[in-house]
Amino acid sequence: MLRLPKNRAARFRATSITTVDYHVDIDYSGDGSRNHRLDVLVPHGSAASLPVYVYFHGGGWTSGDKSELTKYCASLAHEGMIVVNANYRMAPRAQLSHMIQDGNDVLNWVAHNIGAFGGDPSRIVLGGDSAGGHIAAVLAASAFEPELAAHYGIEPQVERGNLRGLVQHCSIADFSVMFDRGFVLSLNFLRMLLPLKGRGLHLRSAARFMSPIEWLDNGFPPVFITTSERDYFYRANLNFIAALLGKSIMVDTMVYARSRVNTRHTWQQDSRHPESQEVYRRLGEFVCRVAPQPVVSA
């Protein structure tokens, strides 16, 4: 049963989509922490098992909450998928390794529990916006790269064949841009995500383990990337697109010009914009294409 504090309940009613069932604040790790809660959004009346879209919110690795993405996730559930909307620990108390471990725990929960909600654990698509998209991309790369998984101390919880796709909304899969003069984030952001704030580490070497773009050689799922010239991470997204194409990895893109004023960083969260509605439609098509309903032989 859905039970929320009064202020959250009012906000929830204002943003809810009535064609979706909401299962909120499920503890995926068993420690009772708000940072280890997820929501499962299920479209009404599905007769067959559905693909699963696992989403991580953005917020510069330091802020944000899954509740801010409820309407976005419900919009995607309405497109015909089960959506898992997850929280995770954040900096400065947590490092990137903790965030990746939390994401892996989310996937462990999905693998063992999503069938009860009508989801198919063999058809998983990962996604996120900004920092959350980065976490999703590292998890995707870790599924194919044992060295990267070992670096973060995880055993991937999704088999390679079950990870069908990755969605990147204004994300950063290439940390090399942080070394560019005038980049919007200083190198202190990179240090913040590292053990001991990067003391004693060579930052460019450390950035390699933070950059999914560096880990495409042993396989990678199809990717859907949405960005714009107004996005802080526009250049990183173009670099990622080029790298995926160079490895012959399927990539679907939506790249808006600066003239589209509704496409500032993480505009996809605001469903009022026609550009956002187009993202939802295209993302629904992407999930159907990469995680289709299995054909049952007669």
Helix (H) / strand (E) element for 50: namely strand 50-56
Mean pLDDT, the chain, as a whole number? Answer: 93
**What would the pLDDT profile of 201-255 be if each residue is shown by its tens digit?**
899 999 999 999 999 998 899 999 999 999 999 999 999 999 999 999 999 999 9
* Lookup result for tokens 């049952």: 296
Any domain includes 55: yes
Mean pLDDT, range 67-91, rounded to an integer: 96
> pLDDT-derived band of residue 198, with 50, 70 and 90 as boundaries?
confident
Q: What was the pLDDT predicted at 218? A: 87
Any domain includes 218: yes
Count CB atoms within 10 A of the CB of residue 33.
12
Q: What was the pLDDT predicted at 32? A: 95
Any domain includes 28: yes
The whole domain housing 82 covers 16-290
Count CB atoms within 10 A of the CB of residue 150.
11
Any domain includes 297: no
Any domain includes 254: yes
- Let me know if 244 is exposed, middle or buried by CB neighbors in 10 A (0-12, 13-18, 19+): buried
CA 7 distance to own-chain centroid: 26
Q: Are 42 and 113 in contact (CB under 8 A)?
A: no
Task: Provide the β-strand partners of residue 144.
Answer: none
State the DSSP code for 120. Answer: E
- Let me know if 191 is exposed, middle or buried by CB neighbors in 10 A (0-12, 13-18, 19+): middle
Q: Where are the beta strands (DSSP E) in 61-211?
A: 82-86, 119-129, 163-169
The whole-angstrom separation of Cα 240 and Cα 72 is 24
Any domain includes 240: yes
Q: Is the pLDDT of residue 290 over 90?
A: yes
Comparing CA positions, the residue from 72, 76, 68, 69 lying closest to residue 51 is 76
**What would the pLDDT profile of 113-147 be if each residue is shown by its tens digit?**
999 999 999 999 999 999 999 999 999 999 999 99
Q: How many domains does the chain have?
A: 1
The whole-angstrom separation of Cα 62 and Cα 64 is 7
State the DSSP code for 295. Answer: P
The whole-angstrom separation of Cα 214 and Cα 243 is 9
**Angle between helix 274-290 and 70-78 (nearest 10):** 50
Mean pLDDT, range 269-289, rounded to an integer: 95
Q: What was the pLDDT predicted at 47? A: 72
Any domain includes 61: yes
Any domain includes 1: no
Q: Which long-range contacts (CB under 8 A, 24 or more apart) does 175-182 make?
A: 175/207, 175/210, 175/211, 175/236, 176/204, 176/207, 176/211, 176/213, 176/239, 177/233, 177/235, 177/236, 177/239, 178/207, 179/203, 179/204, 179/207, 180/235
Q: Is the pLDDT of residue 7 over 60?
A: no
Q: How far is CA 79 from CA 47, 52, 177, 294, in A?
A: 14, 12, 34, 18
> pLDDT-derived band of residue 4, with 50, 70 and 90 as boundaries?
very low
Residue 81 maps to which CATH number?
A: 3.40.50.1820
Q: Is 167 helix (H, G, I), strand (E, B) or coil?
A: strand
